Structures are given as structure tokens and as C-alpha cells.
Amino acid sequence: MKRRGVAILGSTGSVGTAALRVLARHPDRFRVSGLTAFANASLLAEQAAQFKPGMIGLVNNGVSSHAGWRGGVECLVDAARAPDADIVINAVVGAIGLDATLAAVRAGKRVALANKESLVMAGELVTDACRRGGGEIVPVDSEHSAILQCVAGRPHSEVRRVILTASGGPFRAWSPARLELASVSDALQHPTWRMGRKISIDSATLANKALEVIEAHFLFGFSYDQIEVVVHPQSVVHSFVEFVDGSVMAQLGVPTMELPVLYALTHPERIEDSGVPTFDPVDLSPLTFERVRADDFPALRLGVEAGRRGGAAPAVFNAANEQAVALFLEGRVTFGDIPRAIEAALDALDDLDGSSRDALISADTRSRAYVRELYRC
Ligand code: MG
């Protein structure tokens, strides 16, 4: 069997390290063609020694002088379009991942996408690039992996709606007054998933679920009216698909990213894997569901509205959120400021061009600048 080459962008993060644990169990099927990280040179060096990729890139190369390593943000695109990479796992955080996603699908590759931001900010460009280049996006996000598995090749016309599950984050039961001033360490305490800082904050504000609604729209072509969100604190049901006859499929599993990573590598096939913990419905009980507290977590509504508006609005939403989260993590704005910053940026920048990659990057830059200016940072 010819082993498939896998490049991992963001190999030292939570999805990247989960992907390497999966790949280490299947050396007969996959080899690591490239590894790139943002700044964690010591972990990247350990990974490189174990997996011996042809290309190693450190985006922030000022912190390392390892011989032969590539540096700068270009190393993401170089790893993504390298001829020996058949599959690109894009697990970079934020808008910085866009060019690598575009480069990989233009080169006809499969992108196992954890960098949902690239699809959110430029969904039309990415889907168009897939059509022209012959590439494909297979989601790593657990909710979208669930939808892909439930739909399982059935035609679009048979799906009535999808329901994305949301854990509700650490503040699911907090009062609005308490939410307003939640601390960084409170916000990083995710109840069910161990993740990086940015996505943990996005889960606490529910901005992550807004990104996922937009992601579902572009991945599967569902209208926004067909995509709903329900809170499911245990993160065991990864999403539901309701068909036109009223039947509902769900995909379940213990909350580990190794499962959706493995499926993104092997889709539509499944392979034997011993690494994922055994599913025990009694251990995982009870499974409960709640309505989203939409008024208390306005980032979800703002993001879905931006998705419906289209054009540059999703890019403005995403960039305002990234900037506001960065300021929150630096202790410069409150938790309650995050959705306010997003809303202000969307109101102020409501007529930007979103028709090209450069226009979207410009909208992204302007949205970040707007939020910094708003808080004089
Ligand atoms: Mg998710």
C-alpha cells in the first residue's frame, strides 16, 4: 500500500498533537511529509526527531536557528503545497491559515480542516478553489465531522436541517452580570474539551458556534435557516441531521479530537484504531440538551447575522473576534467587551468588498484596527 503523505500545519497545538498521536498508530498508511508550528521550537524539534518530515517550518523563526528549518508565515503555504503532501491538516489558529488552505485545494489536495477561520472568512473563495483545483475540504471540527458521517453521501435534498451541538462552555449557567466580568482563567476552564486559548475563549462567548454555523453553511451548502444550535453540556452527541422524512441521525463519541482527525484522514472509509477510549453509554450518562441563551451570548447571533449578510461580513466578524479575544487575553478588555467589539466593528464596516482574497485580507486588517482603536490599544 502506498503511504499517504500528511503535512500538519500547527503541529504543536491541541489538534496537531492529537493528529500526531493518530498518525503514530498508522505508520503503514501515513507518513509525515511536513510539520509547521508557530513558536514552540522545542516541541517541534521533538516531533521532527520522531516523525522525520521532509520539511519543518517555524512561523516565528526568530526564536530558533535549527539548521534546515523554514521560517516565516510562507512556510505554511510551502508545506501545504509540497508535492509529497497528499493530505494537509490545517490546524493553525485564525485568519493566518487562509493562504495555506487555498494553496492546498488549488493543488488538488485534501485539506483536513481544523482552521475553521479560513472557511469562515473566505468560504466562497475556498469552495471555488476546490472546484477549480480538484481539492477537497474534509472537516476536523467534531460537529462537522458528525454531520459528514450522518449525511453519508445522501443527496442534499433529503436533509431538512442540521442541529449543531454546543457544550455551552464554562459560563453556561452564569448570570449576565457575572459573565460581564468573567476572568481569563475562568474563561479558559472548558468543561469537556482541552483546547488552545483562542478556541477556549470562543467556546465561552459562543463565537466558536457562530464560526461553526458559517463553516457548516459553506461545507455542506445548507442555508442558514437549516442550521440550528442546541446546548449539550456533555459533548458526546457531536451533532444531529434531520432528514425530510423526519428521521434524525446523530453521531456520538467520547470527546476526543483523535476521532474526527482519523475520520478526516480516511473518509469515506473507516479503519481499525485502538487509540480512542471505549464508548460506554452508561458511563457517559446522562446526556442532556438545553436551549441556547441567545441574549446572554450575543456573539452567536452576531456571527450568524454576518454569515447571512455574506460578502466581507464574516471576515469582519472573525477578525474583530480574534482581535477582541487577543485583547481580553492580555487583560485589556473585559469578557463582556468581546461581543460589543464585534458588534461595533460589524456596524462600522458594513460595506467592505469581499470579492477577492486581497479584499478579504484588507477587511480583516481594517476590522482588527477598528477594534484596537475602539479600546485605544
Ligand atoms: Mg467544534
SS3 string of the chain?
CCCEEEEEECCCCHHHHHHHHHHHCCCCCEEEEEEEECCCHHHHHHHHHHHCCCEEEECCHHHCCCCCCEECCHHHHHHHHCCCCCEEEECCCCHHHHHHHHHHHHCCCEEEECCHHHHHHCHHHHHHHHHHHCCEEEECCHHHHHHHHHHCCCCHHHEEEEEEEECCCCCCCCCHHHHHCCCHHHHCCCCCCCCCHHHHHHHHHCHHHHHHHHHHHHHHCCCHHHEEEEECCCCCEEEEEEECCCCEEEEECCCCCHHHHHHHHHCCCCCCCCCCCCCCCCCCCCCCCECCCCCCCHHHHHHHHHHHHCCCHHHHHHHHHHHHHHHHHCCCCCCCHHHHHHHHHHHHCCCCCCCCHHHHHHHHHHHHHHHHHHCCC
Q: Give 138-163 pLDDT, tens digit per residue.
A: 999 999 999 999 999 899 999 999 99
Q: What is the mean pLDDT of residues 92-101?
A: 95
Distance 143 CA to ligand 1 centre (A): 5
Q: What is the mean pLDDT of residues 233-254?
A: 97
Distance 63 CA to ligand 1 centre (A): 31
Q: What is the mean pLDDT of residues 198-210?
A: 96
Distance 359 CA to ligand 1 centre (A): 27
Distance 232 CA to ligand 1 centre (A): 12
Distance 200 CA to ligand 1 centre (A): 11
What pLDDT, on the 0 to 100 scale, is given for residue 65? 66
What pLDDT, on the 0 to 100 scale, is given for residue 194? 78
What pLDDT, on the 0 to 100 scale, is given for residue 195? 84
Distance 61 CA to ligand 1 centre (A): 30
pTM for this entry: 0.96
Distance 194 CA to ligand 1 centre (A): 12
Distance 112 CA to ligand 1 centre (A): 14
Distance 73 CA to ligand 1 centre (A): 25
Distance 147 CA to ligand 1 centre (A): 12
Distance 184 CA to ligand 1 centre (A): 20
Q: Sketch out the chain's domains with CATH numbers.
A: 4-139 (3.40.50.720), 141-168+206-292 (no CATH)
pLDDT tops 80 at residue 370 = yes
pLDDT tops 80 at residue 1 = no
pLDDT band at residue 128 using 50, 70 and 90 as cut-offs: very high
Q: What is the mean pLDDT of residues 355-373?
A: 98
Distance 376 CA to ligand 1 centre (A): 32
pLDDT tops 70 at residue 233 = yes
Distance 348 CA to ligand 1 centre (A): 29
Which residues line ion ligand 1, judged by CB < 5 Å?
141, 143
Distance 212 CA to ligand 1 centre (A): 7
What pLDDT, on the 0 to 100 scale, is given for residue 191? 80
Q: What is the mean pLDDT of residues 169-173?
A: 95
pLDDT tops 90 at residue 132 = yes
* Mean pLDDT (the chain, rounded): 96
pLDDT band at residue 63 using 50, 70 and 90 as cut-offs: low
What pLDDT, on the 0 to 100 scale, is given for residue 64? 62
pLDDT band at residue 377 using 50, 70 and 90 as cut-offs: confident
Distance 354 CA to ligand 1 centre (A): 25
